[in-house]
């Protein structure tokens, strides 16, 4: 085998190694992105479940199955307006005492729903 053939063979081996490494990194990135997407979706679903424990959906005439990005977008606008208006009265950051107060009240509401 000539020196040039050997160099070419070594380059091909290194190229294959790099391609394999690239594929492994792409797979790991795809797996992490999928994990992040699932985590985000679970959190959004849980927030929706908490919202359902309040009277807000019925105040906005939102029914399960309504497409809030489609034909029922006006209902989504009402809900968003209510939430935004309510949060305007809150400070930019909550003190630990305020957080405990909201947590206590939230736990009471959750306990009511369980019984």
| 75 DSSP assignment | H
Contact 103/110 with Cβ under 8 angstroms? no
Angle, CA of 107, 86 and 62, to the nearest 5°? 80
What pTM was computed for the model? 0.71
89 lies in which domain range?
3-114
Please determine, for residue 113, whether its predicted confidence score (pLDDT) is greater than 90.
Answer: no
Tokens 């909550």 belong to 94
Structure tokens at 35: 């994990």
Q: For 67-112, write each residue's pLDDT tens digit.
A: 999 999 999 999 999 999 999 999 999 999 999 999 999 999 999 8
Specify whether the backbone of 65 is left (phi greater than 0), alpha (psi in -120 to 50) or beta.
left
**What is the total count of domains within the chain?**
1
Q: What percent of the chain has pLDDT over 90?
A: 93
């Amino acid at each position: 085998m000539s020196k040039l053939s050997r160099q070419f063979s070594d380059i091909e081996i290194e190229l294959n190694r790099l391609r394999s490494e690239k594929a492994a990194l792409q797979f790991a990135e795809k797996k992490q992105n999928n994990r992040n997407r699932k985590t985000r979706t679970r959190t959004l679903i849980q927030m929706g479940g908490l919202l359902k424990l309040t009277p807000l959906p019925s105040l906005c005439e939102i029914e399960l199955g309504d497409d809030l990005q489609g034909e029922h977008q006006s209902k989504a606008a009402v809900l968003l307006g209510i939430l935004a208006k309510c949060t305007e009265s809150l400070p930019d950051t909550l003190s630990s005492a305020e957080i405990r107060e909201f947590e206590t009240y939230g736990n009471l509401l959750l306990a009511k729903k369980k019984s």
